[in-house]
A and B are shown apart, each in its own frame.
Chain A
Amino acid sequence: MRFFLYFLVFLLFAFGQKTDLRAQQKDSVSFYLTNAKDSLKTPYLKKAYSLSQKLRNDSLLKKSSIALGLDSYFKRDTVRLKKVKESLISLYRKNTDSFSLAKAYHFRALIFRIQNRLDSSFYHYYKSKEISILLKDSLEVGRRCLSMSYMQKDGKDYAGAEATIVEGLNHLEPLGDLRYTPESYNSLGHILLKTGRYDEAIKYYNKVLETVEKRDASNKDEDWNLLIANNIGNTYLQQNKPQEALPYFRKALEFDSIALKYPYHYQLLLGNYSDANYLLGNTKEAWEDFWKLLRFREKNKNIFGQGVSHNGFAYYYMLEGNPKKALYHSLKSYELTKKVNNNFTRASVLIKLVKLTSGKKAERYFDEHLRLTDSLEKIELSLRSDFTTIRYETEKKEQENITLKLENEKKQAAVEKAEQQRIIGWLVAIALFLTLGSSVMFFINRRKKLLYESQLEKANAREQERQQIAKSLHDEVAGDLRMLHQKLAGSNQQEEANGLEKIKENVRNLSHQLSSVSFEEVSFKDQMINLATDYFSKDFKVFIKGLDLEGWEEVNETIKRTLYLSVRESLQNALRYAEASRFDILFSLHKKEVLVSAKDNGKGFDTTKEPKGIGLKNMEERVQELRGHLDIESSENGSQIKIRIPRNGK
C-alpha cells in the first residue's frame, strides 16, 4: 500500500515535471516569436518553428510557420518557405483549418514570386484570396488583393489591377484597417496616375494621408507624408505642371535630416524636385541636385538608383547638346542597369546609345533595344494576358463552382427529398405500426367483446332455462296440485286441501320468481314498476327514480335482466329480513355504464358474514359475469346495494 502511494506521488511528480517543461517550452516559443527582431529575427523564428513542431502544438506551429514563412520570403529563402508551406498544408489536413490552407497558398505564391513565375504566383495569390473570402477573413483578402494588384500593375494590366485593389479595399475599409488600407489607396493612386486620371489619383493619395492620421504611432506618418508629397508632386509633374509639383517636393525635402532617416524617399523627392526645377528652367539648381542625387546614391551603394541617375544625366546632356557627356553617362547607365537587371531604364538608355553612336555599335545597340523592348513587351503582354486568363479561368471556375453549387443544391435537395421520403417512410411505418397496433387492439377488443357476448348468451340461455322451469312449475306442478286440491276440497278432506293449497302457493311463487318477461314485450320501465308493485304495500313502500331516463331500449337485455333480478333480490331481502318500511330504487343511465342503487331503511345485516345468502351470492355472480361491480353497505339504519355494469363489457 505504502509502495503504491509512493509510486503515485512519483507519478504525479513526474507528470508535473513534464507539464512544467511543456509550459516552459510553450513560453519560450512565445518568447522567440515576440522577440524575433532585427538580426535575431530569423534564428529566433526558426527556433520558435522547430520548438512548436516538437511540442506538437498546432496553434503555436501555425503562428511560427506564418512568421517564419514571411521572413523567408523577405530573405528569398525558397527552401525554408517550402518547408513552412508543407507544415501549413499538414496543419490544414489535420485540423481542416482553412486558414492554414489559405496561408499555404499565399506562401506558394511567394515562392513563385521569388522564382519570378508571376503567373503561377498570381494564381496562388488568387486561390489564397478565395479561401480567405470564404473564411470571411477580410484582412487577408485585402493583403492578397494588394499583392495581386501590384503584380497586375507591373504587368501594365491597369484595369485588372484597379479591379483587384478595389476588391481589396472593399474588404479592408469596413475593417477600419490602418495598415494595408493606406497602401491600397496609394497603389490605387498609382494606377489612376498611370491611366491619366490625375485628379482621382490625387484624391486617393490624400486618402492615404487621411487614413494614416488615424494611426497612433506618429512616426509612421512621416514616411507616408513624404511619400504622398512625392506622389502628388509626381502627378502634377506627369501633367506637365512643374509649377504645382515643385512645392510638394520642396516642402518634403525640408523635412529634418530626411536623407538620413528616409533615404529612399529622399532620392525619389530629390529626383523629382530636380526634374521639376529643370522643367521650370531652374537648370542651375537642377543640375546641382542631379549631382547631389548621384553622389547620394553612390554613397548609399544604390546601383539601381545610380543607373537611373546616369540615364538622367544622359538625357539632359543630350537636351543641352553635349553628346560626349551624354554618351559617357549613357554607357555608365547601361552598365549599371544591366547589373541590376533594370531593363526598363536600360531600354531607355539603349535608345540614347543608338542616337549617340554610329555604325556597327549603333546597330548593335539598336538590335539589343529591339530585343529588350520586345521581350519586355512580351513579358508585359504575357503577364497581362496571364492575369486575365487566370482571372477568366478562375471566374470560369467560379462559374463552374456556381454550377457545382447548383448541382450541390440539387443534390442537397435530392438528399433532403430522400430525407423527407425517409421521414415519410418512417411516418408510414409508424402509421402502419399504429394501424397494426390498433387492429390488434381491435381484434383483442373484438375477442373480448365476443367473449362478453358469449357470456351474455350464456346468461341468456340460463335465463331461458329458468323460464322453462318456471313454466313447468306453474303449468304442470301447480296445475296438477290445483286439480288435486279441487278434488280434495270436493271430497271433504279440507285439512289436506288446505295443506295442498299452501304447497301450491309456494310452487307458484317459485314459478313467478323464476319467470320473466322479455323487455321487448314489456318495457324495462313497466317491468320495474310491476316488480315494485309486486312488493308494494302500505307497510312497505317502494319508490323508483331514474326510470324515465331515455335510452333504456338500447341497454342490453341481459344487463337489464340482471338489474331486474338484483333489484328483486334486494326487495325480497328488505321485505323478509330487514323489516324495512321503505325501499328506494335509483337508476342511473350513462353512455358507458348502468348504475342502480337499492336502499332500504331496515335493520341492516353483517356484510362481512360468510356465507352470504344464496340470493346475494347469485346477484354478485350475475353482476360479475357482466364485468360489473356490486357493493353492499349496511348499518342499523338500513342497507344499500350499488350495482355498476359496463354497457359494452369493458
Chain B
Amino acid sequence: MENKINILVVDDHQLIIDGIISSLSAFDAYQVSSTNNCDDALRRIKQQMHSEPFDILFTDLSFDNTPQNAELDGGESLIKAVKALEIDIKIGVISGHTETNRVYNVISNLQPDAYILKNHAGAEELDFAIKKMLQNERFYTYEIHQKILKRNIVQIQMDEVAVQILKELPKHPKISNLEGIITKESGGFLKLRSIENKLANLRIDLNANNNTDLVLKAKELGIID
C-alpha cells in the first residue's frame, strides 16, 4: 500500500473514469481513486494531504454536471485551487479538447505536468505519462506536442526580427556579428543581448539544443527556406 502511487481521477462521465481505472488496473503500482465533481476532488486532496496524499491528479477540463452552488466550475478551477495548496502533486489533464485555443490556454496558464487527449488515454500512454510526470518532466500527447510546436512556428513567423535572426544566423560564424545587421521593426539595430535573448527563446520554442540545431529545425519546419 505504501509503495503504491496514489492517483485521483476526476471526470464528470463515469464511463471515462471506468475506462481509465480499467486501463491503469493493469499496473500494480497505481492506486486509483475517482470522483465526478471538482469540489469533491479538492476536498479529498485536502483531506488526504497529510495522511494519504495523492501523487497524481488526472482531471478533465469540462464538467457538465457541475451544480450551480459549486465552488469550482471545472478542470481549470480545480487545477488552480490545487496549485494554490502548494503541495507535491503532479497534475495531468485528460481532455478531449484539441483546439489550440483551449490547449494553449491551459498549458500556458496552468502549466499542467501532462496533457493527454482522451482518445489516447490508453494504458500505455497513461503509464508513460505517469512515469514522466514523476520524473518532473512534462508529457504531452504527441498531437498536443505538435500543436504547441506549430503554434511556436506561427508565432515565430509573425516575428520579423526572429525570422531575420534565423535567416542571418547561418551566414555568420559568430553571434556577435549579427549586431548591426538585425533591424528592429521600428528601425534601428537590435543589440547583441536582445539577439541572444531571442535566440534562447527560439531554441526553447523549437526544442533545439543549440543554434545549429535551431537553424536546422527552422528549415525543417519551413520557417526559413
A residues sitting closer than 8 Å to B (CB atoms) are: 471, 474-476, 478-480, 482-483, 486, 501, 504, 508, 512, 515-517, 521-522, 526-527, 529-534, 536-538, 541-545, 547-548
A175-B19 Cα distance, complex, nearest whole Å = 129
Q: Which of A483, A527, A541, A545 contacts B101 (CB 8 A)?
A: A527
A474-B62, A482-B118, A544-B158 known; A533 and B19 CB under 8 Å? no
A645-B116 Cα distance, complex, nearest whole Å = 39
A545-B151 Cα distance, complex, nearest whole Å = 15
Is B157 in the interface zone, CB < 8 Å from A? Answer: yes
Q: Which of B108, B150, B155, B158 contacts A545 (CB 8 A)?
A: B158
Q: Which of B10-18, B29-37, B167-175 contacts A (4 or more CB under 8 A)?
A: B10-18
A483-B19 Cα distance, complex, nearest whole Å = 8
Q: Which of A478, A526, A542, A544 contacts B104 (CB 8 A)?
A: A526
A512-B99, A543-B157 known; A533 and B16 CB under 8 Å? no
Q: Which of A483, A512, A541, A548 contacts B13 (CB 8 A)?
A: A483
30 A–B contacts, CB within 8 A, in A order: A474-B62, A474-B97, A475-B13, A482-B96, A482-B118, A483-B16, A483-B19, A501-B119, A504-B119, A508-B96, A508-B98, A515-B99, A515-B102, A521-B105, A522-B101, A522-B105, A526-B108, A529-B158, A530-B151, A531-B100, A533-B100, A533-B150, A534-B99, A536-B150, A541-B222, A544-B157, A544-B158, A547-B158, A548-B158, A548-B185
Closest A residue, CB atoms, query B153: A536
Closest A residue, CB atoms, query B62: A475
Closest B residue, CB atoms, query A541: B222
Which B114-136 residues have a C-beta within 8 angstroms of A?
118-119
Tell me whether A479 and B13 are in contact (CB under 8 A).
yes
A486-B12 Cα distance, complex, nearest whole Å = 17
Query: How many residues on B have C-beta within 8 angstroms of the other chain's C-beta atoms?
Result: 30
Tell me whether A534 and B100 are in contact (CB under 8 A).
yes
Tell me whether A476 and B96 are in contact (CB under 8 A).
no
Q: Which of A517, A521, A522, A544 contacts B154 (CB 8 A)?
A: A544
- Across-interface contacts of A547 in B (CB, < 8 A): 158
- Across-interface contacts of A515 in B (CB, < 8 A): 99, 102
A530–chain B nearest beta-carbon distance, Å: 4
B122–chain A nearest beta-carbon distance, Å: 10
A244-B64 Cα distance, complex, nearest whole Å = 146
A471-B61 Cα distance, complex, nearest whole Å = 11
Closest A residue, CB atoms, query B154: A532
Given A533-B100, A533-B154, A544-B158, 17 more pairs with CB closer than 8 A: A474-B96, A482-B15, A504-B119, A512-B98, A516-B101, A517-B101, A517-B102, A517-B105, A529-B151, A530-B99, A533-B147, A534-B99, A536-B153, A542-B154, A543-B158, A545-B158, A548-B158
A482-B119, A515-B99 known; A530 and B104 CB under 8 Å? yes
Per-residue A-contact encoding for B1-27, CB less than 8 Å = 1, 0 else? 000000000001101100100000000
- Across-interface contacts of A516 in B (CB, < 8 A): 101
- Across-interface contacts of A512 in B (CB, < 8 A): 98-99
Q: Which of A486, A531, A536, A542 contacts B19 (CB 8 A)?
A: A486
Interface centre among B64, B99, B102, B153 (most CB of A within 10 A): B99
Tell me whether A478 and B150 are in contact (CB under 8 A).
no
A516-B101, A522-B101 known; A536 and B154 CB under 8 Å? yes
- Across-interface contacts of B96 in A (CB, < 8 A): 474, 478-479, 482, 508
A227-B43 Cα distance, complex, nearest whole Å = 144
